[in-house]
Amino acid sequence: NAGVTQTPKFRILKIGQSMTLQCAQDMNHNYMYWYRQDPGMGLKLIYYSVGAGITDKGEVPNGYNVSRSTTEDFPLRLELAAPSQTSVYFCASSNTVAGELFFGEGSRLTVL
Amino acid sequence: AQKITQTQPGMFVQEKEAVTLDCTYDTSDPSYGLFWYKQPSSGEMIFLIYQGSYDQQNATEGRYSLNFQKARKSANLVISASQLGDSAMYFCAMREGGGSYIPTFGRGTSLIVHP
């Protein structure tokens, strides 16, 4: 059971570089989310999607972009990386609008 | 304003004792769900328990129970018979209908279980 798969698990970026965090789920879930976790701050929503072709901003979308061309994939793009984007990123999915979240293992990103 | 408040940054408990982790929430929506997740030191997020706003009884899942007090807007997690493996961060979360059911999280409580 793969569930939600995130890659890469670790990445170091230089300021100004760009990268994409990949997220794929094999549970046919419509609802997918990207969160960032900073120490002592809980999880903050970056972007979310309620189905293929539909995305929307969360609480902290600046500096990020997403796409949802298929039900399975929900990549997060970081453009012009900044030190403030150093964080742990979690992708999650749910099979119903109000159900529990299934999380990936997280991606630790450091911007130097 | 914080939708989910967890006021205990850190908690300590002796092995085999029970512990309560506090969570209060803020919503005016009649339809909402409350969740608890566990994050061990390895980093993954694990769903523990769910309580719906219309549920009459407190949710239970094994050693986990949710003390749901709707009038006080609290949803405390009770862990009975603590084990060393319960040492982790615990997050309370809510999905409210008026907010398109977008999940929002509290800041978490760190639980350390002593032998």
| Cβ distance of B108 and A100 shorter than 8 Å | no
Q: What are B60-69's pLDDT values in tens digits?
A: 999 999 999 9
Q: Does B8 touch chain A (CB under 8 A)?
A: no
Q: Which residue has the tokens 């760009």?
A: A18
**Which of A70-79, B24-33, B98-107 bottoms out in mean pLDDT, i.e. has the lowest?**
B98-107
Q: Average pLDDT of chain B?
A: 95
d(CA B96, CA A62) in angstroms, rounded, equals 24
- Whether the bond between A8 and the residue before it is cis, its omega within 30 degrees of 0, is yes
Q: Among residues A13, A22, A20, which one has the least CA distance to residue A105?
A: A22
Contacts of B84 (CB under 8 A, 6+ apart): B15, B113, B115
pLDDT of res. B1: 67
Chain B CB contacts of A90 below 8 Å: 45
Q: What are A36-89's pLDDT values in tens digits?
A: 999 888 999 999 999 999 999 999 999 999 999 999 999 999 999 999 999 999
Residue B32, beta-bridge partner list: B96
Q: Does B38 touch chain A (CB under 8 A)?
A: no
| Cβ distance of A101 and B103 shorter than 8 Å | yes
d(CA A67, CA A111) in angstroms, rounded, equals 23
